[in-house]
């Protein structure tokens, strides 16, 4: 059972108790990410996330690292285009210590100039590292084509120029503007008592300011005409990412879209994996995936292939996309996809961090708990006709936006889809 408490200042506390567990997974989620930035502060959300571990009034960066190590378990943080999260999984007896540590990081971080300068170099290296890994970099190149000048089209890490100029004032301004109490969700799963957990956070966050301005309205991205671009680079492989606009996180057809993705390229028995890798050996890596946001999303297909195999792989991809629009999938294929999705969801319920993340995302995007049985029932309700309808709706509206990275001339790809 999921319990929810709203603190007087707007902070939301969500828990799911598992008394048999020996651990508790805790995440402090902030409803702010890279899409809440603009051209002059892009990379702020990610930079702020790093700085939470670089010193408070009572702890040095080394102290923070040592305390997390002593707590055991695991601790980390991440930034997405819409959220930022600090999380840790510890033994249940260490929960009060963890809450105090996370509170200190979130409310007392110094953002000291010398630490900012050190961490700036780390983040610049991270940016360079992504640019040196083509099967990562292609996703940023594709997003820029798909979303254009909208913040969703920028790298979460930010640009080299903006990060190089970032200072304490920039970062503190971002925190002040976006880390408001109405955007904070504290989620936990494991061996805990909800009332006791709330008391810990009431002591920690109770003095934070009341909710002021109403929650901001994010600018919804426009759907742009399809774009195709080759980025020539001396690599061994050609990396292709092609896709188009899909569904938001909360769309009523989200489960059908999930099933469509699994059937197309979401696992080893998917059509793309079997046709392009297993039958023909054209690619080591081929898959499709969904990226969904609060108000938008996309479905994309990745190919990592030899230069001489690019056009053949693209033609096979186009054929499988067309096939899903024209003919219903078999009952057996649909049943296998259902089992794959449902098994993943059920197995995740054995992991406290996965449970914590699930209840947090439900709160952030739906404002309520979505019971697992409801999700499983909705997956069972997806029919072959739904797959055809969604295939036509997503892929049939316009040509795909495509990015190619590797040893190619600008006219070296025969875009088949």
**Residues with Cβ < 8 Å from 306, sequence gap 6 or more?**
237, 238, 282
Catalytic residue among 49, 82, 115, 320: 49
Which residue carries 């055991």 as its tokens?
Answer: 72
Tokens representing 384? 């072959």
Spatial contact of 275 and 296, defined as CB atoms under 8 Å apart: no
List the structure tokens of 78.
């991440």
Measure the CA–CA gap between 385 and 126, rounded to whole angstroms: 44
Q: Are 244 and 401 in contact (CB under 8 A)?
A: yes
First-last CA distance in the chain: 46
* Helix and strand element counts for the chain (H, E): 15, 11
Phi, then psi, of 90 in degrees rounded to 5: -135, 170
Residue with tokens 């996180």: 249
Whether 49 sits among the annotated catalytic residues: the reply is yes
Contacts of 204 by beta carbon, 8 Å cutoff, 6+ apart: 99, 100, 103, 107
Q: Are 32 and 179 in contact (CB under 8 A)?
A: yes
* Residue 99 backbone phi and psi in degrees, to 5: -60, -40
Cα dihedral 118, 120, 126, 129 sign: negative
Q: What's the rounded Cα separation, in Å, for the pair 154 and 159?
A: 8
Instruction: Calculate the alpha carbon distances from 49 to 11, 17, 90, 147 in Å.
Output: 19, 28, 20, 24
Query: At residue 231, what are phi and psi to the nearest 5 degrees?
Result: -110, 105
Q: For residue 249, give the nearest of 289, 295, 210, 190 by alpha carbon.
A: 295
> Which H/E stretch holds residue 189?
strand 184-190
d(CA 259, CA 299): 12
Distance between CA atoms of residues 6 and 26, nearest Å: 17
Which residues are catalytically annotated?
A: 49
């Amino acid at each position: 059972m999921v319990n929810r408490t709203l603190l007087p200042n707007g902070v939301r506390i969500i828990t799911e108790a598992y008394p048999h567990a020996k651990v508790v997974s805790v995440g402090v989620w902030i409803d702010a990410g890279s899409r809440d930035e603009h051209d002059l502060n892009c990379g702020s959300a990610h930079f702020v996330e790093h700085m939470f571990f670089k010193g408070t009034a009572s702890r040095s960066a080394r102290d923070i690292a040592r305390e997390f190590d002593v707590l055991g378990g695991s601790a980390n943080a991440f930034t997405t285009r819409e959220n930022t999260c600090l999380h840790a999984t510890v033994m249940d007896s260490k929960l009060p210590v963890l809450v105090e540590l996370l509170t200190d990081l979130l409310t007392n971080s110094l953002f000291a100039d010398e630490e900012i300068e050190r961490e700036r170099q780390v983040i610049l290296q991270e940016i360079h590292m992504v640019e040196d890994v083509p099967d990562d970099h292609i996703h940023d190149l594709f997003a820029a084509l798909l979303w254009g000048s909208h913040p969703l089209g920028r790298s979460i890490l930010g640009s080299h120029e903006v990060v190089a100029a970032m200072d304490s004032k920039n970062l503190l301004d971002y925190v002040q503007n976006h880390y408001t109490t109405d955007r904070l969700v504290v989620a936990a799963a494991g061996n805990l008592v909800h009332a006791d957990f709330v008391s810990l956070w009431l002591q920690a966050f109770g003095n934070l300011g009341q909710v002021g301005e109403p929650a901001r309205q994010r600018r919804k991205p426009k759907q742009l005409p399809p774009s195709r671009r080759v980025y020539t680079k001396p690599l061994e492989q050609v990396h292709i990412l092609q896709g188009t606009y899909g569904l938001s996180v909360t769309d009523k057809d989200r489960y059908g879209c999930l099933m469509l993705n699994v059937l197309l390229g979401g696992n080893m028995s998917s059509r793309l994996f079997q046709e392009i890798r297993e039958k023909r050996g054209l690619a080591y890596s081929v898959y499709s995936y969904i990226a969904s946001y609060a108000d938008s999303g996309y479905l994309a297909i990745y190919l990592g292939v030899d230069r001489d195999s690019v056009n053949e792989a693209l033609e096979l991809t186009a054929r499988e996309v067309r096939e899903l629009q024209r003919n219903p999938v078999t009952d057996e294929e649909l049943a296998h996809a259902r089992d794959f999705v449902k098994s993943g969801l059920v197995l995740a319920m054995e992991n406290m961090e996965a449970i914590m993340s699930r209840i947090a995302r439900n709160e952030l995007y739906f404002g309520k708990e979505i019971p697992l049985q409801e999700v499983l029932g909705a997956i069972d309700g997806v029919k072959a006709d739904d797959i055809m309808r969604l295939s036509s709706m997503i892929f049939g509206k316009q040509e795909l936006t495509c990015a190619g990275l590797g040893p190619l001339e600008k006219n070296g790809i025969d875009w088949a889809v």
